Chains A and B, each alone.
Chain A
């Protein structure tokens, strides 16, 4: 039952991805062509509120529901893995029009072709795990 709150949060996530139209291939194309503010203002609002919230959590040392301090761990410093990995991700994002979250929202929405995209995203993750030691990080 401890997991039910995550199911509920996930449902809200699925609904907002669909209702904001962020799960649409068309919207992603429009974003990469800079022809509408739609995606930018959605992400901008989320990040602005995120910045304020994270700063407040740090300033007041807020705790989570179990009483543990909410901590933020700095990501490992590097350029290559973020730039190369990010670029490969972006190529796939603009082609399939979906990042991992919106993929599964599409499946629930009835766009079953996204099962192919999601399956191959799992394969891609496996491939990374298999050859990661040979890649610059």
Chain B
């Protein structure tokens, strides 16, 4: 059994677990969305003193911060107890495309060329991560949600705004992948 858990999980198991998390949170009286934590952190850090958008009772969002801490712990548990140490099994064509950008085939879950010590201590490598994060944070709040709030919770409720947001996610993702990445790497 433990051997099976240590393998990467099949798609339908992963999808079912994600849906179960969404319904558990609904049952607990909350709704599934992760990026609102970013706003909560701004508010908890005192952002409300300078920007009205962060002036709200952030303590009502404490449950989501606890969920965030759980997510960090889950990552730790997955790596230490539930991993067989194999690299991600991405398709051969992706490996080839990425090699043209100078990114080597997976030896773990993340590329050294982006997340390794050498990369993040270079100016270019640091800026890639900083600008990537900046756009995710800015964009998710502008769009009013991230992958979970819109693509999972919103689409499940047939929300048109969520559909538009998901189209935006892909528009941006495709622009980055095909237009900008070849210049960046």
A contacts, CB < 8 Å to B: 3, 5-33, 35-38, 41-51, 53-54, 57, 64-66, 68, 70, 72, 74-79, 81-101, 103-111, 113-114, 116-130, 132, 135
Contact = CB atoms under 8 A, between A and B. Distances in A.
A51 B134 contact: no
B161 A78 contact: yes
A19 B29 contact: no
A26 B165 contact: no
Given A91-B135, A108-B74, A16 B18 contact: yes
30 contacts: A6-B28, A10-B66, A10-B73, A14-B78, A17-B75, A18-B75, A19-B9, A20-B14, A21-B88, A25-B111, A26-B88, A26-B109, A29-B90, A29-B94, A49-B16, A76-B144, A78-B161, A85-B165, A88-B143, A92-B133, A94-B173, A95-B176, A99-B146, A100-B34, A100-B146, A108-B74, A116-B126, A116-B133, A126-B47, A130-B50
B121 to A, nearest CB: 10
Interface string B98-115: 100000001001110011
B68 A10 contact: yes
A69 to B, nearest CB: 10
B100 to A, nearest CB: 12
Nearest to B176: A94
Contacts of B151: 43, 47
A72 B140 CA distance: 20
Interface of B: 5, 8-9, 11-12, 14-30, 34-35, 37-39, 41-42, 47, 50-54, 62-64, 66-79, 82-83, 88, 90-91, 93-94, 97-98, 106, 109-111, 114-116, 119-120, 126, 128-144, 146-148, 150-162, 164-177, 180-181, 184
B40 to A, nearest CB: 10
